[in-house]
């Protein structure tokens, strides 16, 4: 009879997966059990510590709502999201670097005209974003949908606000590249902001004396047929949190020197009522395939 002791227990659990029909599931479960059991042995985990871990995960699940995904946040701050991203994008071959999707992608399916102000009615310093989508040798890619989203001047995404259910999306949109692969829009200058700290993930951040801050950035999801979907951010050069992003998402190639301008008109020829900022960034797509991620939270019907 098998002795389910510290030495033999792991092997017994691994054997329990012998008849798993899907080889990938069998492999993943085997490696998960071996790693988890090894963690327990290496740390001499106590009953109290394991009970706390179970309670922590339970509370993480309870914190999830249709407009908040605490498990994604947990994955992000532990570096797991970026690690999964890294092992799935080892060979970029000159393509734009990827980074985490984040927990606030809700989808946006109504294309907007180039030059649309996605920040209409929201306070903040004005910014003009101009961009181009090309292949690896600079050939423009036309008719490519590009989803964009970012936080407001107070560091909140639209889906974090009580008014979201009433007012729908803001500071997010979808633009379709023109024949030269270009798209442009108006918005406000994003700022650095803290991740939500009123849940279990925030509790962990505070207990470990980490700061909760993300550097200022704009999210982009570029989904060109015949190319790998690109999920990335463009960060603002000079932000003091670039080197200590709480979700480890910054890469040098994704930092943009955003210029402060006083020109009376913006690049689309329309007047500027005050000093404004110019973000310019081009995206290089890697040939391939794949599905763009589905929203973790539902988009509004009028999105």
Q: Which of 150, 186, 217, 284 is catalytic?
A: 217
Which residues are within 8 A (CB) of 46 and not within 5 positions of it... i.e. 6 or more apart? none
Q: Which of 214, 233, 277, 284 is catalytic?
A: 214
Whether residue 62 lies in the annotated active site: no
Which residues are within 8 A (CB) of 303 and not within 5 positions of it... i.e. 6 or more apart? 106, 107, 108, 109, 110, 168, 169
Q: Which of 193, 277, 281, 284 is catalytic?
A: 193
Whether residue 214 lies in the annotated active site: yes
Whether residue 89 lies in the annotated active site: no
Q: Which of 157, 174, 277, 281 is catalytic?
A: 157
Q: Which of 219, 233, 277, 284 is catalytic?
A: 219
Which residues are within 8 A (CB) of 153 and not within 5 positions of it... i.e. 6 or more apart? 122, 123, 124, 125, 188, 189, 191
Distance (Å, rounded) from C-alpha 172 to C-alpha 116?
11
Distance (Å, rounded) from C-alpha 294 to C-alpha 274?
38
DSSP label of 269: S
Distance (Å, rounded) from C-alpha 146 to C-alpha 148?
6
Closest by CA to 92, choosing from 228, 217, 256, is: 228
Distance (Å, rounded) from C-alpha 259 to C-alpha 277?
5
Catalytic residue set: 157, 193, 214, 217, 219
């Amino acid at each position: 009879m098998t002795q389910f002791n510290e030495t033999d227990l792991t092997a017994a659990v691994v054997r329990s997966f012998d008849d798993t029909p899907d080889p990938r599931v069998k492999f993943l479960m085997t490696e998960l059990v071996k790693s988890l059991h090894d963690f327990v042995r290496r740390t001499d985990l106590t009953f109290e510590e394991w009970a706390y871990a179970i309670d922590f995960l339970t509370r993480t699940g309870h914190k999830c709502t249709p407009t908040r995904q605490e498990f994604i946040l947990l994955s992000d701050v532990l570096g797991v999201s970026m690690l999964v991203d890294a092992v799935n994008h080892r060979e970029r071959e000159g393509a734009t670097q990827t980074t985490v999707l984040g927990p606030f992608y809700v989808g946006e399916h109504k294309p907007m005209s180039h030059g649309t102000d996605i920040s209409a009615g929201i306070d903040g310093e004005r910014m003009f974003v101009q961009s181009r989508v090309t292949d690896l040798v600079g050939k423009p890619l036309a008719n490519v949908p590009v989803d964009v989203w970012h936080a407001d001047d107070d560091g909140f995404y639209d889906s974090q606000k009580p008014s979201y259910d009433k007012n729908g999306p803001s500071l997010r949109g979808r633009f379709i590249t023109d024949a030269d692969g270009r798209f442009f829009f108006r918005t406000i200058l994003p700022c650095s902001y803290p991740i939500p700290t009123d849940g279990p993930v925030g509790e962990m951040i505070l207990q470990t004396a980490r700061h909760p801050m993300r550097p200022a950035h704009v999210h982009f999801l570029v989904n060109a047929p015949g190319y790998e979907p690109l999920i990335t951010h463009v960060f603002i050069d000079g932000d003091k949190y670039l080197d200590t992003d709480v979700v480890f998402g910054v890469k040098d190639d994704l930092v943009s020197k955003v210029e402060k301008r006083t020109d009376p008109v913006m690049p689309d020829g329309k007047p500027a009522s005050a000093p404004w900022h110019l973000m310019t960034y081009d995206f290089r797509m890697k040939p391939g395939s794949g599905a763009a991620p589905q929203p973790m939270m539902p988009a509004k019907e009028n999105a």
